Structure 1
């Protein structure tokens, strides 16, 4: 590299956990508190969950890049990721490291994956694992997910109802995520397959607003996007 060339900044995909700030890893905390630039997704309603989780660790001198992203399947998010990538590139090109905050685990249904696809081939990149809400929810519910040779299935509620039936039929254990307005069709399929008795509902796992409610008492209007249904292994009913 010549004296006139600028060293490229490093891109971090920072898994910050499901919501409890104390579940942030030591590595994520170190990077978060030392990078000059922090980027994070913003929801269409203006809520910024990722930043809220680590707000106490962000310092005044750090540059912030809010990334507005649609979280509805009706709207394409690709142009929004293009715009976010362009903003991040402007900092990486002048040698500034950028940490992209990602709730839970960056490579598991994480928004960072789409930035990773756009930028990892151009800039030094490191992904820092985080605790996923899909697994933390089982701890909050107090239900072991899998025993012995059980297979765990993760299913987005955004699937068509016929696909949900196929995916849920014959499961050992499952986690259904991205509920929100899709709750009624998921409930219908669980009832059809005789899975309601095994199903546990939780929303905002590990966060101050966490709620665990009986699934039969839930009304569709009250189900947020950040909610999950856990169907633990049948091993719960068997002798060890």
Structure 2
């Protein structure tokens, strides 16, 4: 019989936020696969490390972080071929994914290549959105509020339109787009309604009102904003990684 492919959501970074089910599969799966950006250790594997028994076969999915899509497609093609060999031989494979597999998760690219031929089980994880709201002590929505999640690489006009149609908004994938997005929110007169959270759940977590930040941010950062009628929340400032 073929093995099962598990898409494991590992949460935002704190290994204690890995679910009991994901931890059990990490201990049992004979093969693990994880994304590996060139030149850096795998964040997904680092989250899983405390739960790994050792001795498992490992498949590192080397990804080029350039804007071009073709190198990433080729990397997932190669990984899917290698994973399929293990599954076909009856070995389960746990594919590690930061956050949640189907919330901007890398696992979806393996799923689209392998789900038609093999058994697949998705184990949801704590998303970066949920972790950021918890760190900021900012409810995402109340009563009839609507929430929109916006990728920072979108054009300014698109971001502004998405914000206009929602009560509560989260802007993620900041990185090199941060200064532009911050300037846009200032132009929209929303900067004082926004909280900045960097590396939620990790020891270097950083939380500030957006107006008090500089113009640099890592990829693992998020802006939470609110345009509704609920009372404003106090921001729990934390500057452990202030730069």
TM-score normalised over the length of structure 1: 0.91
Query: In the aligned structure 2, how far is the partner of 1:138 from the partner of 1:33?
Result: 30
Task: Write out aligned runs for 1:154-173 (5 A).
Answer: 154-173=149-168
Bigger mean CA deviation after superposition, 121-130 or 63-72: 63-72
1:57-115 deviations in Å (ceiling 9; x for gaps): 21221111111123342453211111111111111111100000011110010000011
Instruction: Check conservation: 2:192, 2:209, Cα contact below 8 A.
Output: no
Cross-structure match for 2:57: 63
Pair 1:202-2:232 in alignment: no
- Specify the alignment match of 1:229 in structure 2: 223
Partner of 1:180 in structure 2? 175
Which secondary structure state, in structure 1, belongs to the residue aligned with residue 192 of structure 2? helix
Contact 2:145 2:228 in 1 (8 A): no
Unpaired segments ≥5 residues, structure 2: 233-243
Structure 1: segments with no counterpart, 5+ residues: 1-6
| 1:235 CA displacement | 3.5
Q: Aligned-pair RMSD on alpha carbons? A: 1.5
Structure-2 separation of matches of 1:32 and 1:232: 38
CA distance in 1, matches of 2:66, 2:186: 26
Aligned residue in 1 for 2:238: none
Return the match for 1:25 from 4, 19, 25.
19
1:116 and 1:195 map into 2 onto residues whose CA distance is 38
* 1:4-19 matches, cutoff 5 A: 7-19=1-13
Aligned length: 231
- C-alpha distance in 1, partners of 2:227/2:82? 44
CA distance in 1, matches of 2:39, 2:226: 33
- How far apart are 1:219 and its partner, in Å? 2.8
Residue 48 (structure 1) aligned to one of 35, 39, 42: 42
1:11–1:126 CA contact under 8 A, matched in 2: yes
Can you list the C-alpha shifts for 1:35-64, whole angstroms capped at 9, x where unaligned?
A: 000001111232310011121121221111
1:184-229 Cα deviation digits (max 9, x unpaired)? 2211221121110111001110011211133223333x31100000
